A and B are shown apart, each in its own frame.
Chain A
């Protein structure tokens, strides 16, 4: 059969297929965005403080840290991995950044580089544990989570790193024409990672490895090296996120980011990243991060205790993963 006939033959179903494809791709993103808008409107009615400039600035900065680290998590999740160490690595990076400023007088830029370097090293460690030592990502990064948290307590004697110059706050609390500096960084990171994932060969390999590792390997992709790159790049972003978080409170906090992994995994999954690998987009993750930040912010404004926040985030994770499963089944029932 000629191509022309084939096209004509398939045309009846083509529009349908095209729609299905678009919808299934964007469905979780659309759902998350709707939830975001609903929550936003609800909170503006529920609390008189919600729409104040101060609070919106706060939400922006809080979203920024979650979004940057969730972007890192998304890359790892796409490879069918998971990074549980993001919280302690962010703390380690933030504390390291704060310490070199306080004790060695590093300028902010150099301190940020140190924090990013710490994150990259942790990412390299995660990557090598997964690819060379062949430890499953869940366990490998669980170990890194524990080692990282231990190290940060050892380094600081479990006491926060204070006594930093005001300039240290630039990343977390600075602004450019009223827009939080952290939000600007987040936009740059998001655009960069989205571009990397969707337009480059490295991005293509990231999806391929998560979708079918053996097929990727047999296609000649250096899966060990590329997986390691993913973890290193994730570490870089986690280091940056940790530095911004430290900057927000103008100190290095050794207990920063405990259970942060839940927030960022939730953000990624809400946005459509699949824990079964091969799927996920940064657009969705950013929406998810915003949603999580809103939940946290709204809970504070409405005086809902931190313990209930934990419960709410847990429920959201369940719902998002259930939805992901449902979506997969529907897609595959066709094959």
Chain B
């Protein structure tokens, strides 16, 4: 089976030689007596879209939260660009260039699109007015419009409150926000779970554009055809460990399901 061969080839990524943009090694995370991660590994290379899949309870969410600074791991190491890092908070992760779009907590509905894109990173007026905390709204409007146009996100106007957008537009804004600020990796946790077909297509277009611009993307998804459509590689998590690393163009959805459930030779310690 092609999957097993790929799984053993550690360095067949396009950016061989460079250290991975984001790497987790031997992550252990316990909640009381429950061991959610039991030495999980995870690797993302530069400009790669890596799908993280696994059955419910495999530890996907825990791993994502560890990579994005929500949980501190009990054991193991996270490296960004080969350098070991410690994320005490999501803000630490963001400083290291790792941006995450959480399933439902992404945006503030009452704020405008521009305000959301710049939330926590507002542009202030120059000079003494800026030191008083005065916003440069014009600069943020222009910056937001330019960034969204570049990513192909279509919204009526950047001053529209998020509440007035469709679900797909909302999610596009959330994803765009992460992409705009990320310098290393964007982590997307089920970005299309609540969306229809057309809207899903829009979100995935945004992801592709980001990848084409050299961004690395981690995508958590339950949708196997979608995973194969957009991902370069797939990493499979099972029972808190990495069970397989697969190239998306060499496998079928059946292979993915087999790897998730452990019923094939793709399994590996």
Contacts and interface: CB of A to CB of B under 8 A. Distances in A.
A220 B105 contact: no
Contacts of B91: 220
A212 B166 contact: no
Interface residues of A, number: 37
A310 to B, nearest CB: 32
A166 interface: no
Nearest to B153: A6
A51 interface: no
Contacts, number: 102
B133 A200 contact: yes
Interface string A1-20: 11100100110011001101
Contacts of A331: 163-164
B154 A204 contact: no
A21 B164 contact: yes
Interface residues of B, number: 39
Contacts of A332: 163
A208 B119 contact: yes
A10 B135 contact: no
Interface string B75-111: 0000000000000001100100000101001111111
A157 B159 CA distance: 55
Contact of B135 (A6, A21, A201, A334): A201
A221 interface: yes
Chain B binding site: helix, strand, loop or mixed by DSSP? Answer: loop
B74 to A, nearest CB: 22
A222 to B, nearest CB: 10
B111 A211 contact: yes
A18 B149 CA distance: 19
Contacts of B137: 199
5 contacts: A200-B133, A204-B115, A210-B110, A211-B110, A215-B107
Contact of A215 (B119, B133, B156): B119
Contacts of B105: 212, 214-215, 218
B161 interface: yes
Contacts of B132: 200
Contacts of A214: 105
Given A17-B160, A21-B160, A21-B161, A218 B107 contact: no
B108 A216 contact: yes
B154 A335 contact: no
A211 B133 contact: no
